[in-house]
Amino acid sequence: MKVIMVCSGGMSSSMIVDAVKKEAAKENFDLEIVAVGTEAFENEIADYDLGLVAPQVRHRLDKFKKIGEAVNKPVDVIDPMGYTPIGAPKILKQIKTYV
């Protein structure tokens, strides 16, 4: 599964992305996940199976969902409680609901 995570600049999510990758590897779940800034999301979502929205940009969720709908891709927001490196299992569980 290919997942694109959008955050305000793409940098703050790098620790989260790494933690989710490690969790997916532990579970033998085939996952490609990247973090991008808000500007890159619109141009790249079509190449992914799922878009995830980081809590710090959830105020723009409706816009991201419309972008996803335009290319027939689901977009969901990450629970703030899961948006930590130790929250990776929760995020992976959320991702798996879209398989």
pLDDT tens column, 9-30: 756 688 899 999 999 999 999 9
Q: Is the pLDDT of residue 82 over 90?
A: no
Judge: domain 1-95, CATH 3.40.640.10.
Answer: no
Which tokens sit at 28? Answer: 């033998």
Q: 1 to each of 30, 48, 81, how far by Cα in Å?
A: 6, 8, 23
Active site (annotated) includes residue 51 = no
Q: What's this model's pTM, rounded to 2 decimal places?
A: 0.94
For residue 30, list its beta bridge partners.
Answer: none
Calculate the average pLDDT of the chain: 94
Q: Which of 4, 7, 16, 78 is an active site residue?
A: 7
Domain ranges of the chain: 1-95
Q: What is the pLDDT of residue 33?
A: 97
Of 2, 57, 74, the C-alpha closest to 34 is 2
Q: What is the pLDDT of residue 11?
A: 64
pLDDT in tens, 44-73: 999 999 999 999 999 999 999 999 999 999
Q: What is the pLDDT of residue 42?
A: 93
State the number of CA atoms in the 13 A half-sphere of 57 facing the CB: 26
